[in-house]
Structure 1
Amino acid sequence: MELLSATLDRVKPSPTIAVTTKAAELKAAGRDIIALGAGEPDFDTPQNIKDAAVAAINAGKTKYTPVDGIPELKQAICAKFKRDNGLDYTPAQVSVGTGGKQILYNALMATMNPGEEVVIPAPYWVSYPDMVLLAGGTPVIAPATLENDFKLTPEALEEAITPKTKWFIFNSPSNPTGAGYSRDELKALTDVLMRHPHVWVMTDDMYEHLAYDGFEFCTPAQVEPALYDRTLTVNGVSKAYAMTGWRIGYAAGPGKLIGAMRKIQSQSTSNPCSVSQWAAVEALNGTQDYIAENNETFVRRRNLVVEMLSAIEGITCPTPEGAFYVYPSIAGLIGKTSAAGTKITDDETFATALLEETGVAVVFGAAFGLSPNFRVSYATSDEALKEACSRIQSFCAGLT
């Protein structure tokens, strides 16, 4: 009898984690490595949030909590949705999980049936299709191309929807492109969804507060209130508050769906870390001033990376509206050969050769469903970014 489940044959490990792990191994072996693969702010968690966690520990708030979040955090989440998005939710409509990834996974596990489909714009965050597959569903990839600024068109969404479609997963600003949808662009998509009342909307708003150059974030249920009853609005504290390791994600949506997600979580992880929950209360309720300060740093880094990569012949690097990624195209480099003799046949061979020959770790575009591109995370120091981009420039200059 085979030990492992056949379900595992349908999914692959996270490519972003694989790149980060490979870079760490090379660095441990003595290589001079600059890792631009991880989607993690290099800022420390703000002091007020750390103080709240310490206070929670000292107050003995280290026991089990309700499965999907303490009342104080659910109330803070409701206040956040009202304050930032104009959305009214009650605590009974809120779920708190161990990171945004668990929230998305719970929702899919609680709703998918064999043969049902999930529309996912590409480029996509690497985990979306595999979570759909784990839940027994079928991912349907809808391309959002460079020519359209990596944004899904209403026509492409309409074409991807079938009678079997259960969910549409939407992410803005985007991982991996940083593309952000304006209100008008999002309204064009919600107009399509209004014509298909059987399709639910799962919106991943994790990069909501990382928006630049006057870009104004909006979320589907905000833009089209008629979608409220079939939308799960997902968010978390990891990116804006530099709390990746605290592992707190949350969502709000219809009570029946939230209850089903609670059932899944009760039989898997149970409650998120109690101390992290109290830290998240302070993150949402406390001062938000440092978000704008951090964003100034991100804008400077974004501009640095875009300028240096755009100077490379054969690379096209759009300027993103948000998040902390750029997603350059290497269409002009395909078919060339590196100084060490590697033929650049696709973005994966490009990323592999770049790491081996220069020590710069990036994630190849095929991992995100759209090639030939690569993703750079600029959530690291200016000095590291300058050196990394200089190495990429030298590497590309050596291609023949």
Structure 2
Amino acid sequence: MTFLSATLTRVKPSPTIAVTTKAQALKAAGRDVIGLGAGEPDFDTPEHIKDAGLAAITAGKTKYTAVDGIAELKQAICDKFARENDLRYTPDQVSVGSGGKQILYNALMATMNPGDEVLIPAPYWVSYPDMVLLAGGEPRIVSASPESKYKITAEQLDAAITPKTKWFIFNSPSNPTGAGYTHSELKKLTDVLLRHPHVWVMTDDMYEHLSYDGFEFATPAQVEPALYERTLTCNGVSKAYAMTGWRIGYAAGPKMLIDAMRKIQSQSTSNPCTISQWAAVEALNGPQDFLAENNKIFVRRRDLVVHMLSAIDGITCPVPEGAFYVYPSIKGLIGKTTQNGTVIENDEVFATQLLEQTGVAVVFGAAFGLSPNFRVSYATSDEALTEACTRIQTFCASLV
């Protein structure tokens, strides 16, 4: 008799967390390590947001709240969607969770039945397929190509939909590629979805405010209002507001779905951290000018990394429209050999050898469902990025 759940055999630990953990362990052991694996801004949480958290503590706002969020935060979320996305929701259509991951997980747990399928474009955020598996569903991967700038086409989406398809998960700008779908590209996808009324849309808009070079963000229910009643629009304060550790994610959608998600959350975590909720109210309602300033820094870092990696023979590095990742292809390096005699058979071997020989930690592309690539998070200092890219250049030049 096996003690552990058989469900665990269907999933794997998060590769991005594994890379970060290994890098931290090496650093603790005295190695000179530069971690480019974590999807976390190096900026501090803005002062006015931290002040709101401190004020909540001082005022004694440290008790339980409603399961899926305080009224003030739900209203701030409704106001944000109306102001920025032209989407109208009422507070009873809003769910607040302990991070964006919990919101997505709640939605899947509340809706999946055995045999249900979820369409996931690849490259994808590492947790999407495993959350579907944990919820009892079947992930179906739709692979984009470098030629399409890692964006799937309407024809691919249409061909992938079956009578068993329940959800289509959409993420733009994307983790891990930074690719952003234009309004017209997204409209082609929503046109397909209109022809398949049994398919619901789960958007992950976490990188909405991290958009560059004039790229204009759009979300599916905004582009096609006819999808409003079967779209869960998900977001959070983690990335743009540098609040990863505060753990606040949120979503808005049909009340029936939100009620079901509340039931799941009521029997798992109950309410998100009260102090974090009050800080998130200030994040959404307070000054937003720092977003543009931070984006200028991200663009500079992006351009630095793209320039240095593109200079490497055997690596192709597209310029992303948003987020804070690049997703270079190492197709030209496969089959080469390191100085210690290791053959670069795939991107996992490349990332392992890069970490062991140079101390640079990146995430291998297979973790995101598309190889041979690796992901670099450029949400760290210019100095660290320059040094890391120099080490990558030296490592690649040593391959024979």
- Normalised to the residue count of structure 1, the TM-score between the two structures is 1.00
Could you list the per-position Cα deviations for residues 6-38 of structure 1 after superposition, in whole angstroms to 9, with x for gaps in the alignment?
Answer: 000000000000000000000000000000000
* Structure 1 match to 2:73: 73
Partners of 2:154 and 2:36 in 1: how far apart? 32
* Structure 2 match to 1:15: 15
* Structure 2 match to 1:322: 322
* Structure 1 match to 2:92: 92
Partners of 1:306 and 1:112 in 2: how far apart? 40
* Structure 2 match to 1:302: 302
Q: Which runs of 5+ in 1 are unaligned?
A: none
* Structure 2 match to 1:262: 262
* Structure 2 match to 1:227: 227
Q: How does 1:233-312 map to 2 (within 5 A)?
A: 233-312=233-312
Counterpart AA for 1:248: I
* Structure 2 match to 1:177: 177
The runs of 4+ residues in structure 1 deviating greater than 3 Å are none
Deviation at 1:109, TM superposition (A): 0.1
Counterpart AA for 1:361: A
Q: How does 1:112-191 map to 2 (within 5 A)?
A: 112-191=112-191
Could you list the per-position Cα deviations for residues 252-274 of structure 1 after superposition, in whole angstroms to 9, with x for gaps in the alignment?
Answer: 00000000000000000000000
Deviation at 1:323, TM superposition (A): 0.1
Counterpart AA for 1:82: A
Partners of 2:340 and 2:125 in 1: how far apart? 32
- Is 1:2–2:2 an aligned residue pair? yes
Partners of 2:155 and 2:88 in 1: how far apart? 31
Output the aligned Cα RMSD: 0.3
Could you list the per-position Cα deviations for residues 76-96 of structure 1 after superposition, in whole angstroms to 9, with x for gaps in the alignment?
Answer: 000000011000000000000
Counterpart AA for 2:336: K
Partners of 1:208 and 1:144 in 2: how far apart? 21
* Structure 2 match to 1:55: 55
Could you list the per-position Cα deviations for residues 23-64 of structure 1 after superposition, in whole angstroms to 9, with x for gaps in the alignment?
Answer: 000000000000000000000000000000000000000000
- Is 1:366–2:371 an aligned residue pair? no
Deviation at 1:225, TM superposition (A): 0.3
Partners of 1:380 and 1:152 in 2: how far apart? 29
* Structure 1 match to 2:209: 209
Query: Is the contact made by 1:205 and 1:219 (CA closer than 8 Å) also made in structure 2?
Result: yes
Look up the SS of the partner of 1:31 in the other structure: coil
Query: Is the contact made by 1:340 and 1:357 (CA closer than 8 Å) also made in structure 2?
Result: no
Partners of 2:148 and 2:72 in 1: how far apart? 42
Deviation at 1:342, TM superposition (A): 1.3
Partners of 1:340 and 1:282 in 2: how far apart? 53
Counterpart AA for 1:322: G
Could you list the per-position Cα deviations for residues 235-294 of structure 1 after superposition, in whole angstroms to 9, with x for gaps in the alignment?
Answer: 000000000000000000000000000000000000000000000000000000000000
Counterpart AA for 1:329: S
Partners of 2:105 and 2:325 in 1: how far apart? 24
Partners of 1:322 and 1:342 in 2: how far apart? 35
Counterpart AA for 1:3: F
Q: Which runs of 5+ in 2 are unaligned?
A: none
Partners of 1:16 and 1:198 in 2: how far apart? 33
* Structure 2 match to 1:111: 111
Deviation at 1:159, TM superposition (A): 1.2
Deviation at 1:339, TM superposition (A): 1.6
Deviation at 1:399, TM superposition (A): 0.5
Look up the SS of the partner of 2:141 in the other structure: strand
Partners of 1:390 and 1:240 in 2: how far apart? 28
* Structure 2 match to 1:335: 335
Could you list the per-position Cα deviations for residues 349-377 of structure 1 after superposition, in whole angstroms to 9, with x for gaps in the alignment?
Answer: 00000000000000000000000000000
Could you list the per-position Cα deviations for residues 119-175 of structure 1 after superposition, in whole angstroms to 9, with x for gaps in the alignment?
Answer: 000000000000000000000000011110000111111111100000000000000
Partners of 1:29 and 1:340 in 2: how far apart? 22
Deviation at 1:335, TM superposition (A): 0.2
Counterpart AA for 1:359: G
Partners of 2:155 and 2:369 in 1: how far apart? 19
Query: Is the contact made by 1:117 and 1:164 (CA closer than 8 Å) also made in structure 2?
Result: yes
* Structure 2 match to 1:199: 199
Counterpart AA for 1:371: S
Partners of 2:135 and 2:348 in 1: how far apart? 28
Deviation at 1:340, TM superposition (A): 2.0
Deviation at 1:233, TM superposition (A): 0.1
Deviation at 1:341, TM superposition (A): 1.6
- Is 1:102–2:70 an aligned residue pair? no
Counterpart AA for 1:299: V
Partners of 1:156 and 1:226 in 2: how far apart? 21
- Is 1:40–2:40 an aligned residue pair? yes
Partners of 1:51 and 1:212 in 2: how far apart? 29
